[in-house]
């Protein structure tokens, strides 16, 4: 759009709200999810209601977890011509420790890294991605140009090695903030519809080729073993943009079902685009999984049925008013269109012409991410959170085994298997969980859990639900089986060393003290916590598990925080844990989304050992610019580089009155940075 577009009233989206976000982030990212009653009105128990004493099996399972390490798995180098390979941890001692000195809490408008580390902005909103893409001109944006350029708001960052010095970087573009994207932007209900088309093109994802920067050594430079990566020069045949109009295929048991059929797609198998893709993951066969999260906000005029209410679909016109451009976003005219969003989408980075696949077998909810592990018999398990207050944790286990190198076979693995939802039980008396965060008398928030089967690809286990209904109305099916209401389950990640699985529970200001339970022990939960899951026998296929809460987030000086029993005078504050990743030594890295509002300073990337004597020694590795959320942490398999995607810098400003000018000093541009140690050593060493 040109600068001469008519100016109208700016939207009143500049104030901070509870939960640590700006008003703009709430409206534009999550569709105001926290300003509505939680959509889960099921009578499912908070754990305190269903206290049941269980035998403490922690010691036995800890022993089992050692063997579990053999089947644990992260993802690493997959050259196109090569078969897949598992990645084990390397060089992990008994007591891993992170050696960097923490970055201090701050509100600086930059990425701050520890002493001895350096950083580089790898790719910015608007950078050309496709061949022939125009250079970015913020005052003359067009949808056509944006569809060829790097999209907005970077969330999940995936990295696929293509040899020692080449790689592919996948980045989710979760949502847009038109107030800071467009000069003179006004009201979406009346603004020029080209703004909407640009926003549609800025959603989705980008795939870009990278190369290691090998020019020289020293400060700000790379070197032969450098952790510095940059956009590849020359021919970039894998580069790709996925947008809201990219054709995708619905697969799995619900594909073609009448719930997924529309006037434009009577087959119920073809859908345009993906929405609000938040976190993600990688498969062992080298594809990216990207998770559609708050898709509800793009649709208006829902019929107000139990099915649409449970997903937060509004009966009013949408805030974004995309229905002004594409009628399919008006549910009064196309009621099934919203059933075609809210899935895990698989992207094949090695085939730029491939059709992305929406996997109905993995259920439909506000998917935060998708983390894959192999089971002991080499089937594929996928762990997934539904990021909403009082919603659930899910797991899928494939029917067939993963076979290394059999790509065609492997790409079908997510279409058949079993979808489970988690039910957690604590082992302390309910009266000892009082909502303050005070530890119960056994010294731990812990207990056991079960994965309740919802359906396989051929059989439903939920009364009154067909297989397709379980997979399209997954939240309602999970309500019916008594799943445990969690405090916004976000990212899952599995330790490459022990196989233990971790989940970030961001916060839940709506949990009343009387609703506190052992797995969600504070009410309200302003700062979030981390859950550690040990599957029975260490096997990702297990249908039972033990769990504990190693970290209860917040200011370590506050009594309601807990850092695995570590000396709290030696740990850093953390709030609103969101995305997780591991380094090769098995240390857990946690990025946050909401520290500015809840603690008063910038979001950050923290890291903490989860094994050995330093378990709980949480440090702050990086802070992100003003109002940004720290997204997409990924540590390369060689342990030399951290990728970080600060998204929505300056989200409480406008283009004309920015509150952040990161990274270039003019206007905020969501970007991906890489961080490495100047002396060439591993991250954290």
The site for ligand FEO (CB under 6 A) is made up of 155, 174, 278, 293, 368, 387, 490, 578
Q: Which long-range contacts (CB under 8 A, 24 or more apart) does 656-660 make?
A: 656/183, 656/184, 658/180, 659/626, 659/627, 660/109, 660/625, 660/626, 660/627, 660/628
Residue 631 Cβ, how far from ligand FEO at the closest point, in Å? Answer: 8
Taking CA atoms, 498 is separated from 58, 68, 70, 492, 542, in Å, by 15, 6, 8, 15, 16
Contact partner, 386, from ligand FEO, Ca ion, none, Cβ < 5-8 Å per class: none
Residue 276 Cβ, how far from ligand FEO at the closest point, in Å? Answer: 7
Q: Can you tell me the distance from the alpha carbon of 583 to that of 496, in angstroms, rounded to the nearest whole number? A: 8
User: Looking at beta carbons only, is 433 or 604 nearer to ligand FEO?
Assistant: 604
Q: Cα torsion for 505, 507, 512, 517, to the nearest 10°? A: 20
Contact partner, 174, from Ca ion, ligand FEO, none, Cβ < 5-8 Å per class: ligand FEO
Residue 320 Cβ, how far from ligand FEO at the closest point, in Å? Answer: 16
Q: Is 156 helix (H, G, I), strand (E, B) or coil?
A: strand
User: Looking at beta carbons only, is 277 or 410 nearer to ligand FEO?
Assistant: 277
Residue 640 Cβ, how far from ligand FEO at the closest point, in Å? Answer: 27
Cβ of 657: how many Cβ atoms within 10 Å?
11
Contact partner, 427, from Ca ion, ligand FEO, none, Cβ < 5-8 Å per class: Ca ion
Contact partner, 293, from Ca ion, ligand FEO, none, Cβ < 5-8 Å per class: ligand FEO
Residue 362 in contact with residue 384, Cβ under 8 Å? yes
Q: What is the DSSP string of 26-74?
A: HHHTTTTGGGS--S----PPPGGGG-------HHHHHHHHHHHTTT--E
Residue 54 Cβ, how far from Ca ion at the closest point, in Å? Answer: 10
Contact partner, 446, from ligand FEO, Ca ion, none, Cβ < 5-8 Å per class: Ca ion
Residue 155 Cβ, how far from ligand FEO at the closest point, in Å? Answer: 6
Residue 229 in contact with residue 211, Cβ under 8 Å? yes
Residue 632 Cβ, how far from ligand FEO at the closest point, in Å? Answer: 11
Q: Can you tell me the distance from the alpha carbon of 599 to that of 23, in angstroms, rounded to the nearest whole number? A: 17
Q: SS3 helix, strand, coil % of the chain, rounded to 5?
A: 15, 30, 55
493 lines the binding site for Ca ion (CB under 5 A): no
Q: Can you tell me the distance from the alpha carbon of 342 to that of 395, in angstroms, rounded to the nearest whole number? A: 16
The token pair at 635 is 């540590």
User: Looking at beta carbons only, is 127 or 578 nearer to ligand FEO?
Assistant: 578
User: Looking at beta carbons only, is 51 or 156 nearer to ligand FEO?
Assistant: 156
Q: Cis ω on the peptide bond leading into residue 116 (within 30° of 0)?
A: no
The number of residues that bind Ca ion (CB under 5 A) is 8
User: Looking at beta carbons only, is 174 or 493 nearer to ligand FEO?
Assistant: 174
Residue 578 Cβ, how far from ligand FEO at the closest point, in Å? Answer: 6
User: Looking at beta carbons only, is 24 or 278 nearer to ligand FEO?
Assistant: 278
Residue 447 Cβ, how far from ligand FEO at the closest point, in Å? Answer: 25
Q: Can you tell me the distance from the alpha carbon of 104 to that of 489, in angstroms, rounded to the nearest whole number? A: 27
User: Looking at beta carbons only, is 252 or 632 nearer to ligand FEO?
Assistant: 632
Strand partners, 533: 501, 547
User: Looking at beta carbons only, is 178 or 387 nearer to ligand FEO?
Assistant: 387
Phi, psi of 470 (to 5 degrees): -60, -40
User: Looking at beta carbons only, is 227 or 385 nearer to ligand FEO?
Assistant: 385
Cβ of 77: how many Cβ atoms within 10 Å?
18
User: Looking at beta carbons only, is 489 or 684 nearer to ligand FEO?
Assistant: 489
User: Looking at beta carbons only, is 174 or 446 nearer to ligand FEO?
Assistant: 174
Residue with tokens 């400003």: 653
Residue 275 Cβ, how far from ligand FEO at the closest point, in Å? Answer: 12
Length of the chain in terms of residues written: 685
Segment interacting with Ca ion, rule: CB under 5 A, options 496-504, 577-585, 641-649, 675-683 = 577-585
578 lines the binding site for Ca ion (CB under 5 A): yes
Draw the binding track, 429-468, toward Ca ion (x: CB under 5 A; -: no contact): -----------x-x-x-x----------------------
Cβ of 118: how many Cβ atoms within 10 Å?
18
61 lines the binding site for Ca ion (CB under 5 A): no
Residue 29 Cβ, how far from ligand FEO at the closest point, in Å? Answer: 6
Residue 560 in contact with residue 436, Cβ under 8 Å? yes
278 lines the binding site for Ca ion (CB under 5 A): yes
Non-local (6+) Cβ contacts of 353 within 8 A are: none
Residue 172 Cβ, how far from ligand FEO at the closest point, in Å? Answer: 9
Contact partner, 292, from ligand FEO, Ca ion, none, Cβ < 5-8 Å per class: none
Contact partner, 442, from Ca ion, ligand FEO, none, Cβ < 5-8 Å per class: Ca ion
Q: Can you tell me the distance from the alpha carbon of 147 to that of 139, in angstroms, rounded to the nearest whole number? A: 16
427 lines the binding site for Ca ion (CB under 5 A): yes
User: Looking at beta carbons only, is 278 or 413 nearer to ligand FEO?
Assistant: 278
What does the binding site for Ca ion look like in residue numbers (CB under 5 A)? 278, 427-428, 440, 442, 444, 446, 578
């Amino acid at each position: 759009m040109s600068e001469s577009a008519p100016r109208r009233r700016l939207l009143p989206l500049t104030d901070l709200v509870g939960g640590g976000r700006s008003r703009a982030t709430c409206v534009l990212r999550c569709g105001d999810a926290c300003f509505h009653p939680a959509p889960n009105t099921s009578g499912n128990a908070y754990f305190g209601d269903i206290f049941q004493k269980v035998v403490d099996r922690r010691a036995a399972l800890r022993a089992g977890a050692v063997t579990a390490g053999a089947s644990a798995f992260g993802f690493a180098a997959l050259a196109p011509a090569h078969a897949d390979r598992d990645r084990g941890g390397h060089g992990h001692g008994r007591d891993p420790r992170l050696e960097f000195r923490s970055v201090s809490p701050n509100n600086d408008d930059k990425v701050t890294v520890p002493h001895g580390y350096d950083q580089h902005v790898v790719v910015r909103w608007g950078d050309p991605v496709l061949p022939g893409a125009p250079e970015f001109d913020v005052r003359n944006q067009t949808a056509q140009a944006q569809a060829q350029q790097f999209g907005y708001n970077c969330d999940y960052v995936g990295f696929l090695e293509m040899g020692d010095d080449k790689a592919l970087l996948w980045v989710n573009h979760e949502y847009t903030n038109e107030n800071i994207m467009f000069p003179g932007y006004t009201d979406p209900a009346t603004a020029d519809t080209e703004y909407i088309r640009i926003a549609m093109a800025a959603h989705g994802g980008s795939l870009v080729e990278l190369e290691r920067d090998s020019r020289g050594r020293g400060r700000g430079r790379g070197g032969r073993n450098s952790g510095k990566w940059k956009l590849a020069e020359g021919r970039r045949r894998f580069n790709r943009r996925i947008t809201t109009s990219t054709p995708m295929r619905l697969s799995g048991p619900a594909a073609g079902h009448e719930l997924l059929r529309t006037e434009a797609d009577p087959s119920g198998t073809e859908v345009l685009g993906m929405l609000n893709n938040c976190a993600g993951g990688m498969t062992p066969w080298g594809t990216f999984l990207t998770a559609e999260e708050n898709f509800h906000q793009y649709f208006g005029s829902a019929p107000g049925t139990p099915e649409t209410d449970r997903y937060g679909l509004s009966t009013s016109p949408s805030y974004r008013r995309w229905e002004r451009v594409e009628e399919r976003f008006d549910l009064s005219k196309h009621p099934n269109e919203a059933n075609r969003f809210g899935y895990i989408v698989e992207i094949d980075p090695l085939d730029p012409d491939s059709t992305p696949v929406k996997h109905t077998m993995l259920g439909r909810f506000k998917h935060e991410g998708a983390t894959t592990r192999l089971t002991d018999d080499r089937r594929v398990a996928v762990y997934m959170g539904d990021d909403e207050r009082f919603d659930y944790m899910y797991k899928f286990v494939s029917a067939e085994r993963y076979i290394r190198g059999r790509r065609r076979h492997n790409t079908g693995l997510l279409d058949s298997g079993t979808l489970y939802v988690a039910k957690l039980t604590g082992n302390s008396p309910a009266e000892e969980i009082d909502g303050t965060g005070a530890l119960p008398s056994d010294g731990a928030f812990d207990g056991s859990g079960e994965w309740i089967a919802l359906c396989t690809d051929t059989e439903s286990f939920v009364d009154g639900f067909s297989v397709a209904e379980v997979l399209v109305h997954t939240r309602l099916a999970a309500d019916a089986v008594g799943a445990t209401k969690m405090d916004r389950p976000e990212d899952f990640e599995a330790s490459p060393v022990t196989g233990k699985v971790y989940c970030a529970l961001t916060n839940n200001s709506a949990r009343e003290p009387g609703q506190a339970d052992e797995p969600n022990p504070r009410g309200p939960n302003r700062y979030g916590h981390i859950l550690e899951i040990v599957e029975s026998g260490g096997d990702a296929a297990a249908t039972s598990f033990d769990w504990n809460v190693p970290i209860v987030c917040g200011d370590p000086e506050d009594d309601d925080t807990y850092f695995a029993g570590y000396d709290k005078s030696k740990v850093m504050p953390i709030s609103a844990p969101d995305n997780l990743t591991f380094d090769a030594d098995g240390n857990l890295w946690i990025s946050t989304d909401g520290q500015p509002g809840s603690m008063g300073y910038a979001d950050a990337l923290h890291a903490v050992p989860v094994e050995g004597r330093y378990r709980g020694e949480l440090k702050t590795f990086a802070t992100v610019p003003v109002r940004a959320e720290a997204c997409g942490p990924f540590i390369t398999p060689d342990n030399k580089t951290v990728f970080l995607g600060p998204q929505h810098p300056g989200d409480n400003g406008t283009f004309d009155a920015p509150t952040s000018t990161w990274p270039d000093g003019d206007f905020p541009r969501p970007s991906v940075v890489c961080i490495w140690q100047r002396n060439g050593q591993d991250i954290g060493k």
